[in-house]
Amino acid sequence: MKTVEEIKSAIEAAVPGAAVEIALNPNPALPNSLRIAPECALAVAKFLRDDAELKLDYLSNVTGVDWPDSLEAVYHLYSVEEKHGPVMIRMHTENRTDQVELPSLTPIWRSAEFQEREIFDLYGIVFTGHPDLRRLLMWEGFKDHPMRRDYREPDDFEYEPTAHDEVLKRAQAHKDREQGPTTA
């Protein structure tokens, strides 16, 4: 398999204007990763998947990271056919407040769909072009993103609606009928 440096050079040769940086990993047991610019992410991802030598056809994991000045999505890629990997690519948002959009890589690797939804739900990264970007773990109407470093657990312990509410009401009504009328 090509080194990260060789992959970076191949991307820059194949995708005009691609901005790619090598992000060094301080752990010697893990490979370095490639930081790609969001504006060329789809073209880079397509190249990584379709390149005759790389054939990075399997996206195993996508995770979010909350840095002090931005949010990040990290994609772990493998080649099933060539039996190599991982190659990790990263994308940063402009900031952590109002410019938190990144392109969805779901059109390239379908396995990104649920994982990008999870990152959206927990970190607040908005994946543009995602086919179904909605909350996955938190309920609709939840106002925050609980994996962000600035998240504060509410002190009012907001009620979380569940599918069991109706079942609990019916169980209580059944229990009340079985006990019969109460005498005072």
Backbone angles phi, psi at 31, to 5 degrees: -75, 160
Nearest to 40 by CA among 70, 14, 19: 19
Amino acid at 155: D
What is residue 165's predicted lDDT score, i.e. its pLDDT? 78
* E strand intervals along the chain: 20-23, 33-36, 58-66, 71-79, 84-92, 101-103, 126-128
**Does the model's pTM come out above 0.75?**
yes
- pLDDT, one tens digit per residue, over 15-60 is 999 999 999 988 888 889 999 999 999 999 999 999 999 999 999 9
Give the residue extent of every domain in the chain: 4-179
Question: Where does 4-179 sit in CATH, by number?
Answer: 3.30.460.80
What is residue 30's predicted lDDT score, i.e. its pLDDT? 80
What is residue 143's predicted lDDT score, i.e. its pLDDT? 86
Out of 42-46, 83-87, 167-171, least confident range: 167-171
**114-151 as b/e: b if 16+ CB within 10 A:** ebbbbbbbbbbbbbeebeebeeeeeeeeeeebebeeee
Indicate the pairing of strand 33-36 with strand 84-92.
parallel
User: In terms of pLDDT, which residue wins out, 166 or 76?
Assistant: 76
What is residue 27's predicted lDDT score, i.e. its pLDDT? 84
